Structure 1
């Protein structure tokens, strides 16, 4: 062989060696971890090291000594012996709502109407550039007010500009007289289908609008522009990654939010994966569904393959549809938003295009309507194939709970709703119907998967608050002492599964997220305490120290 050929071979060998060396160094070995994951059999497994490839997928988990020996060239990242979990998933939230709420007035911390009015007055004096005073999160049950607040009370602190404050559950709003006038709401304005205008003794609009009646007023509020929406999305993503949420299911995507989600995903700025539900089956659905469900954009950062519909309102505002009258308001049974035939038409329209159908249902009448409607979908598009869901599944007639499993419907539930609602839920439905309310154990017992969420910003998005509520059924002061209907509580492992594998399954994503197994994205979090060994009373205090998406760190405390 000539010297020239030898030189060529040497150069080639060096190139191959360099390529091999680069490939070897491309893998990252995370070590010194107190790590947990569930496997495909839903068994809890521990490991102290995890190998991740350069694309951000898990190659292996196991013992540090063994993995380090087999992968001597891997870059080492020491996790300091801290507890590591798969990234948590919130199966029901409102991303832009969370970001927007950060800049609006919150009355969540107020203990009575007097405090609320003082907070509104102070906010209005500081918000001199705002055309409207917006926000909410008020709760008349916390205020121990045996009625809704009214417009005159709002007028006493802000009369010169419109005020619109949504109730904590988002299903009722409180307006002042200026806002009512701008919306054209008068004594003669009729209640819309699926909504109610609360009225005083003279029949005048009191200032409280329930469910679809809110639309009358909200149509006159100036919409957020593109810049405001970007600020809201940035604020939401910052908060989500700080509490360890690596995936969220957004319950109500419209054209504007879809546009920004796609943009942020392709630019690598969507630091929490978003599984989107199209809000309704109207014009936007008709446009976007022409291309069919979007199952994966930009390495699974964004998907749009579900539809969100509404059956009824909320329990706190008595908008949830009940089969019998409210125990504390015998004159009303709440409201169904649409008739049965229309609900069936909507779910069939969405399913026929290949979309998962997720329907909000709170009351037992609302839940029954949804079960009947989802059961009406032709077999090729039914819940066994598309994994249709009931969002909330809060109050069910006991005989309807087994029907959920029989129809393969997924009950998507929010544990913190129970601990927020326990101050009024039994008042609303009485001691008999409460047996079918927030009934997590009943669903788990029959084999239902429960994807858990928070319904943020209605509740705090922190998933450890959700796990705590699921396990203890107590508030953060550990009340009630034994928990509220503790027989329906989950174990820590069950609650963990609901925020990981079950939530992933509910988004058709159990093969890519939800656990730290070979081939899945290396979405994980590092936390300050071991939730599987600490007293359950301390779970909600858990602090996220680091959040990683696809092997890249997106948050550090």
Structure 2
């Protein structure tokens, strides 16, 4: 350790020239500092002043920068990393995805889902208030929950239950009536209305068919969204996250973020993609309404571009695939258009509109056919260094990866979802694609820049589980899915830090712990390079620093680990019978 620290001290001098301008505000010491720079240098301590890294190096040299008011943060032998940059996290939804706004219906049986709805009804503020739930999983349940299940316990309450992915909802008959959905209702392009043997809608609406009920579901108020964001930020600090990309938001949510930043009440760096939807008209509308804000620090709230929504997910066989699923279907895109040719033309027009406006484009594309179409659209649009990227990018072909590398098109992969799913999709996509899904190694070998995002609240933002999954290709059940796609722990850490900063056009000022860069720091209670990768998910986050300020510190008596903190981020509130607020207090000490 001493030798490593001495070597880095020479590269990052903590000398008197820097000390003349004043002592450090904060020194993090007694740990293994991984700078995540291009040489993957390590050190023993790091000094911070004015929200920036002042020096990195040996403990003795760095401590010379201390003054009488310098705060000392003991890493206790753990790992000191750049703050984690979750490059795909729906923060506003993440906060709202818990009571009193949303109740947990991630259950193993339909009866348990029904009981959760019954309990929510008992707590409802009025006899006809809306009941929202989230988290059900069709491959966990025997089938999706239906209106016939929910109606007997819901009374006059309209009920809407989101599945864990956000790509399907289950509603009761009250909602079907409010939305005017009958056996004769035609689903929109890319949407599915599940029907029973008699041709009646069951209450399960998939992909764009969800939009049929959106107009009747009351929106959350700005105050509710603001409060939920604050709760979400606190929970993310407890897992070491200091930056995130919020993909697909409206101008109203953007203004909430801006107001918080103006008031200096946003201790989280937000890169936003505005919602471009599924049609050129939506992109034109959002671009027409967007105005840059000169009074907001872009290092805390920055609009990078537009999110386009191109297809569904493999789980529902709504990803558009070149080769069919095992049942012979191929899925389709959800882009507006009467046929595939029109859909591709509209997709490319959406990308062109955003590119011409100088906007980065992140496109949800899970199927390989969709990814091909998206990448072709990026190449066709041309433009300067906008760093367009493919969100999810589950099954890109080798040829498409080469094209992405040649044009510096990024891939945003989801190791945390890989951890959740393992091999559970094998009965849908077959063994070959199960081995290949989220191809980290193939993408890196092709020269593609790979960032990792949790997609929370789809899954918990437990990034060390993501490192585990990317490294071992193991799911929660222990099943291995694709040994050939394994990457190293060092490479996986880069996808959550330095490459995410590249995606944000921010690699010059964040993402690594180099002098002059943002003092965003995550301290892990253990050596992430030496521990058995199977144990990564058990390591605690002991401290989080944003802009040089300690925003989270785990008390010495707390027993919470990253896994415990991540449990708070699921759709439900209870954790071993305790309210999430109780567990949060334990973790925060």
**2: distance between equivalents of 1:228 and 1:421?**
32
Confirm whether residue 178 of structure 1 aligns to residue 165 of structure 2.
no
1:370 to 2:374 alignment: yes
Matches within 5 A, 1:128-147: 128-129=125-126, 131-143=129-141, 145=142, 147=143
Contact 1:311 1:337 in 2 (8 A): yes
Cα contact 1:175–1:208 (8 A) shared by 2: yes
Q: 1:285-317 CA deviation, whole Å, 9 max, x = no partner?
A: 2121x54xx799426111111210011011222
User: Counterparts of 1:398 and 1:21 in 2: how far apart (Å)?
Assistant: 51
C-alpha displacement of 1:394: 0.9
Report the alpha carbon displacement of residue 267 of structure 1 after superposing the two structures with TM: 1.9
Contact 1:396–1:436 (8 Å) recurs in 2 = no
Deviations 1:47-85 (A, max 9, x none): 1222222x2111210012123346667725141534211
Corresponding residue SS for 1:181: helix
Unpaired runs of at least 5, structure 2: 1-17, 277-282, 337-342, 555-589
Distance 1:296 1:168, change over 3 A: farther
Conservation of the 8 A alpha-carbon contact between 1:29 and 1:74: no
CA gap 1:312/1:72 in 2 versus in 1, 3 angstroms: same
Tell me the residue number matched to 1:274.
270
Partner of 1:333: 331
Residue 263 of structure 1 deviates from its aligned partner by 1.3
What is the CA–CA distance in structure 2 between the aligned matches of 1:82 and 1:269, rounded to whole Å? 32
What is the CA deviation profile of residues 197-253 of structure 1, one whole-angstrom value per residue up to 9, with x for unaligned ones?
A: 122222221211111110111211111112111111111111111111000000112
Alpha carbons of 1:81 and 1:435: their partners in 2 closer, same or farther (altered >3 Å)? closer
Does structure 2 retain, via aligned residues, the 8 Å contact 1:241–1:271? no
Gaps of 5+ in 1: 1-19
Task: Give yes or no for the alignment of 1:555 onto 2:552.
Answer: yes
- Residue aligning to 1:357: 361
Instruction: Tell me how far apart the structure 1 counterparts of residues 85 and 240 of structure 2 sit (CA, whole Å).
Output: 8
1:332 to partner: Cα distance = 5.5
Partners of 2:464 and 2:537 within 8 A in 1: yes
Q: Residues 540 and 387 (structure 1 numbering): CA distance in 2 closer, same or farther, change over 3 Å? A: same
The equivalent of 1:322 in structure 2 is 321
Q: 1:491 aligns with which of 470, 488, 498?
A: 488
**1:175, CA displacement in angstroms?**
0.9
Give the corresponding residue for 2:232: 236
Aligned equivalent of 1:164? 160
* Partner SS, residue 247 of structure 2: strand
Q: Deviations over 1:124-161 (max 9, x none)?
A: 22234471111221111012x2x433221222332421
Question: After the TM superposition, which residues 36-435 of structure 1 pair with which residues of structure 2 at under 5 Å, given as runs?
Answer: 36-39=34-37, 41=38, 43-53=39-49, 55-69=50-64, 75-83=70-78, 84-103=80-99, 104-108=102-106, 110-129=107-126, 131-143=129-141, 145=142, 147-280=143-276, 281-288=283-290, 291=292, 297-298=296-297, 300-327=299-326, 329-331=327-329, 333-338=331-336, 339-378=343-382, 380-381=383-384, 385-434=385-434
Is residue 295–residue 303 contact of structure 1 (8 Å, CA) maintained in 2? no
Structure with larger Rg: 1
Separation in 2, partners of 1:430, 1:506? 32
Separation in structure 2 between the aligned mates of residue 21 and residue 440 of structure 1, nearest angstrom? 42
Partner of 2:27: 29
- Tell me by how many angstroms 1:183 deviates: 0.8
Could you state the TM-score of these two structures normalised by the residue count of structure 2?
Answer: 0.84
Secondary structure of 1:227 counterpart = helix
The change in CA–CA distance for 1:71 and 1:243 in structure 2 (over 3 A counts) is closer
Which deviates the most, 200-209 or 231-240? 200-209
- Go from structure 1 to structure 2 and tell me whether the alpha carbon gap of 1:299 and 1:167 turns closer, same or farther (over 3 Å shift): closer
> TM-score, with normalisation over the residues of structure 1?
0.89
1:335, distance to aligned residue in structure 2 (A): 3.9
State the SS of the aligned residue for 1:93. coil
Give distance in 2, aligned partners of 1:357 and 1:230: 26
How large is the RMSD of aligned CA atoms in angstroms? 2.2
Residue deviations 1:459-513 (CA, integer Å, cap 9, x gap)? 1012112212212222345x12xx2212212211111010010111111111111
Q: State the 1:522 CA deviation.
A: 0.6
Output the CA distance in 2 between the equivalents of 1:119 and 1:71: 54
Cα deviation digits, residues 395-424 of structure 1 (max 9, x gap): 234443323223321010110222323343
Structure 1 position 336, deviation (Å): 3.5
Cα contact 1:398–1:435 (8 A) shared by 2: no
Q: Given that residues 24 and 74 in structure 1 are in contact (C-alpha distance below 8 angstroms), is that contact kept between their aligned partners in structure 2?
A: no
Could you tell me how far apart the structure 2 residues matched to 1:323 and 1:134 are? 36
- Quickly say closer, same or farther: Cα 1:488–1:158, change in 2 above 3 A: same
Cα separation, partners in 2 of 1:301 and 1:356, compared to 1, 3 Å: same
Q: Which residue of 2 aligns with 1:10?
A: none
CA distance in 2, matches of 1:304, 1:48: 36
Across the two proteins, how many residue pairs are aligned to each other?
521
**Out of 509, 512, 536, which is 2:533 matched to?**
536
Contact persistence 1:29–1:49 (CA under 8 A): yes
Secondary structure of the residue aligned to 1:475 is: coil
Per-residue CA deviations over 1:434-468 (Å, capped at 9, x if unaligned) read 45422111101111111101000001012112212
